């Protein structure tokens, strides 16, 4: 190899190593200006009232003020959120905290950054008029998103409240969005759903048989990020949480404008969007912080411990996870 070839080889090696370093640290370089720019943090969510505050942060420029670039994705349904997250198409997502446990089984290490709500009636079992109580569902078929899902977990928790067990009913896999139609078509007698499924069920002449107000604090939703993102971009995650805090404060003082921003983000009118808040305890900052405390009435730890036991008993987890490692309270604690 002559001197020119050696020099060329060295340059190529530095370029490859340097390029890997930039990619590893989520940095892109403008080939014309040479300026470095961190890649946007990608977050997925669905049409769910608490998620909408993130769009206030986007529209009001709070992300830009904090100095973080964020790219938001609205998934078609809840299942799509989990798939995008599992496939690492996004860095973070708004979803039920229990699903961080199920992701472990797929080798996905996830961190809980901020609880945003718990359901207090927003999840419901809807069904035909003839089923006026949970006991009436004995021997009937109930639609759930899938076996061992949070949907299945909710239904089992409600059945247990009424003295029924898993063997007292039959289950069918029906996405929450399809429950009203599945009842109409005779595929199921009742099913777990949430908005807009609850409103659609009522409009179709069905009733709410029972709701998550019977099991408050069991199902908590919030913002979650991949472990790698937390390890490598904790400063940007802090900025996102800061922007979220500002968005919540803005909504509190500017209800009309805030509702307009949130409903438009989901392609809904304000009238269509308003029912999405029903049955939800949307947490303020102090309440979010409180849920990180093990002594809290509706502690994240208690919720995940119950869910962990459920999943371990059913062979969905090989061992009890380290909840202290999964839960990251510092971001909401340090929020400005």
Report the DSSP beta bridge partners of residue 110.
Answer: 226
Q: What is the pTM of this model?
A: 0.86
The C-alpha atoms of residue 129 and residue 68 are separated, in whole angstroms, by 51
Give the pLDDT band of residue 9 (cuts 50, 70, 90): very low
Q: What is the pLDDT of residue 17?
A: 43
Q: What is the pLDDT of residue 2?
A: 52
Instruction: Please identify which residue in the block is written with the tokens 């239904």.
Output: 155
Give the pLDDT band of residue 12 (cuts 50, 70, 90): very low
Q: Could you list the residue range(s) of the whole structural domain that residue 109 is in? A: 41-120+221-333
Q: Are residues 231 and 296 in the same domain?
A: yes
Give how many domains the chain has, as a whole number.
3
Q: What is the DSSP string of 258-290?
A: HHHHHHHHTT--HHHHGGGGTTEEE--HHHHHH
Q: Give tens-digit pLDDT for 78-135.
A: 989 999 999 999 999 999 999 999 999 889 999 999 999 999 999 999 999 999 999 9
Give the pLDDT band of residue 11 (cuts 50, 70, 90): very low
Q: Are residues 239 and 313 in the same domain?
A: yes
Q: Are strands 141-144 and 190-193 parallel, antiparallel or unpaired?
A: parallel
The C-alpha atoms of residue 162 and residue 138 are separated, in whole angstroms, by 11
Q: Give tens-digit pLDDT for 208-234.
A: 999 999 999 999 999 999 999 999 999
The C-alpha atoms of residue 331 and residue 62 are separated, in whole angstroms, by 17
Q: Are 229 and 110 in contact (CB under 8 A)?
A: no
Instruction: Write the CATH number for 193.
Output: 3.40.190.10
Task: Tell me the percentage of the chain whose pLDDT exceeds 70.
Answer: 89
SS3 68: coil
Q: Are residues 108 and 232 in the same domain?
A: yes
φ/ψ of 273, rounded to 5, equals -80, -30
Q: Are residues 163 and 228 in the same domain?
A: no
Q: Are residues 182 and 34 in the same domain?
A: no
């Amino acid at each position: 190899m002559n001197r020119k070839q050696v020099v060329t080889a060295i340059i190529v090696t530095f370029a490859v190593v340097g390029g890997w370093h930039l990619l590893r640290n989520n940095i892109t370089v403008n080939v014309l200006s040479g300026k470095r720019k961190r890649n946007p943090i990608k977050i997925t969510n669905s049409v769910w009232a608490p998620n909408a505050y993130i769009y206030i942060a986007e529209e009001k420029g709070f992300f830009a003020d904090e100095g973080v670039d964020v790219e938001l994705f609205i998934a078609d349904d809840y299942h799509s959120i989990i798939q995008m997250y599992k496939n690492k198409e996004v860095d973070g997502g708004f979803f039920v905290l229990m699903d961080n446990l199920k992701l472990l089984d797929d080798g996905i290490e996830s961190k809980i950054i901020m609880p945003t709500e718990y359901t207090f009636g927003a999840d419901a079992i809807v069904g035909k008029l003839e089923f006026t109580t949970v006991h009436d569902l004995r021997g009937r078929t109930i639609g759930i998103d899938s076996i061992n899902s949070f949907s299945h977990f909710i239904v089992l928790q409600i059945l247990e409240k009424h003295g029924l067990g898993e063997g007292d009913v039959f289950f069918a896999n029906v996405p929450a969005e399809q429950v009203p139609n599945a009842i109409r078509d005779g595929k199921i007698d009742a099913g777990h759903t949430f908005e807009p499924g609850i409103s659609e069920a009522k409009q179709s002449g069905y009733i709410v048989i029972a709701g998550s107000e019977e099991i408050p604090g069991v199902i908590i939703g919030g913002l979650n990020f991949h472990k790698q993102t937390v390890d490598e971009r904790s400063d940007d995650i802090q900025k996102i949480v800061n922007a979220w805090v500002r968005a919540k404060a803005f909504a509190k003082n500017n209800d009309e404008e805030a509702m307009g921003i949130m409903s438009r983000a989901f392609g809904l009118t304000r009238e269509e969007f308003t029912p999405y808040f029903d049955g939800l305890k949307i947490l303020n900052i102090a309440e979010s912080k409180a849920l990180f405390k093990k002594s809290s009435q509706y502690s994240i730890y208690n919720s995940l411990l119950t869910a962990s036991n459920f999943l371990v008993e059913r062979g969905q987890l090989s061992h009890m996870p380290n909840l202290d490692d999964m839960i990251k309270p510092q971001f909401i604690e340090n929020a400005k």
